[in-house]
Amino acid sequence: SGGALKCSLPSRPEYIPNHIPDPNYVRIFDTTLRDGEQSPGATMTSNEKLVVARHLSRLGVDIIEAGFPASSPDDLDAVRSIAIEVGNQPVGEDGHVPVICGLARCNKKDIDAAWEAVRHAKKPRVHTFIATSEIHMQHKLRKTREEVVNIAREMVAYARSLGCQDIEFSPEDAGRSDREFLYRVLEEVIKAGATTLNIPDTVGYTLPYEFGKLIADIKANTPGIENAIISTHCQNDLGLATANTLAGAYAGARQLEVTVNGIGERAGNASLEEVVVAMKCRQELLGGLYTGINTKHISWQARWWQSIPDCMYSHIKLLLDGMLKHKGTYEIISPEDIGLSRSNESGIVLGKLSGRHALRSRLLEFGYDISGKELDDVFKRFKEVAEKKKRITDEDLEALISDEIFQP
């Protein structure tokens, strides 16, 4: 049946790079700050990247791909700042600290830059890639299959030799690569120390059935695959990035690469909001898979980026007749579950006489669980605003939280 799913999920399992203690847990890897930044007009300053990283961490993202450090000294600095701050700061109810990841082509210079940027994080990861499709190897790399396997193996081993124990490897354009060759490259990089194998559908070419089968085949045919996590990275050229990502998860991928609002090169990447909400509301059909994302923060986050969920809900307004008869006619997930139409269950109306406790309780209803110094700072600012206004609205609270918690 439609209807909002209200179940309490197990807590986030302990982080081990190449193993997830709970087989139903799916890691969310956000690449808004790397692949998303390639979207026209999405270039960000270092400070903007830091603010976005704070949002992603609050949202509960497991891995933040913070950038491509070899691409410019500024990007290296931005990734390093994120590693130092966000990569060491526990957040949320589970005190989770995200992995901070930097991208590198398969060469020493890139890998050195990525490691230099991420190594300050509590959980650093280097993500290295090389193309494996015939068309890319012949025309872009001008390398033979043998050369590509050797480079991949040597560069993963090189990252390991620097001290990095969490290494992601991507065979670029895997969606159009020869299967047997793909299994071989993956086998070699696992032996060299890769802990996550990311399978990119770089040009967004595959169909959901096909992509699901690709993941299932890799799982069944790659020697040593039980010692690594399989990941998806789906582009949206045919409008199938979310569908392909879900098909990949169903077939055994336990890391999904996404971006906020699906931003990215060309038609974009799989959207974090769509993937996470689809997994939440079709959880049963997906065999009980779950993520560590705090969906109550989704609308806030997405609105912050000029958002999607409001659009998702606008069509529901047109379907009001059915909705009034039975919510389940058109509503597949409750707006509250993703932080929209927040109920004021406590009935608290905030004003200048409200205390810290009232403010904290109301913020909890928004999905924000803050205490200690963070609460002190927000409360101080709240008092200043409340002095000037009779009543503090939800929008005032949102602005307050964004200013106090996320701005550098």
Task: Decide whether 202 or 295 has the Cβ nearer to ligand KIV.
Answer: 202
Tell me how far apart the alpha carbons of residues 319 and 315 are, in angstroms, rounded to a whole number. 7
Q: CB–CB of 28/245 below 8 Å? A: no
**Binding ligand KIV by CB under 6 A: which of 29, 30, 32, 35?**
35
Tell me how far apart the alpha carbons of residues 232 and 257 are, in angstroms, rounded to a whole number. 6
136 binds ligand KIV (CB under 6 A): no
**Binding ligand KIV by CB under 6 A: which of 32, 133, 170, 242?**
170
Task: Decide whether 92 or 171 has the Cβ nearer to ligand KIV.
Answer: 171
- Give min distance, CB of 76 to ligand KIV, in A: 17
**Binding ligand KIV by CB under 6 A: which of 75, 172, 336, 365?**
172
368 binds ligand KIV (CB under 6 A): no
Tell me how far apart the alpha carbons of residues 219 and 217 are, in angstroms, rounded to a whole number. 5
Looking up tokens 């806030």, which residue turns up? 300
Task: Decide whether 266 or 389 has the Cβ nearer to ligand KIV.
Answer: 266
Residue nearest to ligand KIV (CB): 200
Question: Going along 118-243, which residue ranges are E strands?
Answer: 124-131, 167-172, 196-201, 229-234
Looking up tokens 């802990």, which residue turns up? 195
Task: Decide whether 255 or 295 has the Cβ nearer to ligand KIV.
Answer: 255
Task: Decide whether 255 or 307 has the Cβ nearer to ligand KIV.
Answer: 255
202 binds ligand KIV (CB under 6 A): yes
With CB under 6 A as the rule, give the number of residues binding ligand KIV. 9
H, E, C per residue of 350-388: CCCCCCHHHHHHHHHHCCCCCCHHHHHHHHHHHHHHHHH
- Closest alpha carbon to 31 in 383, 270, 298, 320: 270
Task: Decide whether 170 or 271 has the Cβ nearer to ligand KIV.
Answer: 170
Question: Exposed/middle/buried for 330, CB within 10 Å: 0-12, 13-18, 19+?
Answer: middle
Instruction: Give the tokens for residue 76.
Output: 């290296």
- Give min distance, CB of 68 to ligand KIV, in A: 9
110 CB neighbour count, 10 Å cutoff? 22
- Give min distance, CB of 7 to ligand KIV, in A: 33
233 binds ligand KIV (CB under 6 A): yes
Residues 95-134 that bind ligand KIV (CB under 6 A): 129
Q: Which stretch binds ligand KIV (CB under 6 A): 184-192, 194-202, 384-392, 400-408?
A: 194-202
Tell me how far apart the alpha carbons of residues 68 and 87 are, in angstroms, rounded to a whole number. 16
| Residues at the contact surface with ligand KIV, assessed by CB under 6 A | 35, 129, 170, 172, 198, 200, 202, 233, 235
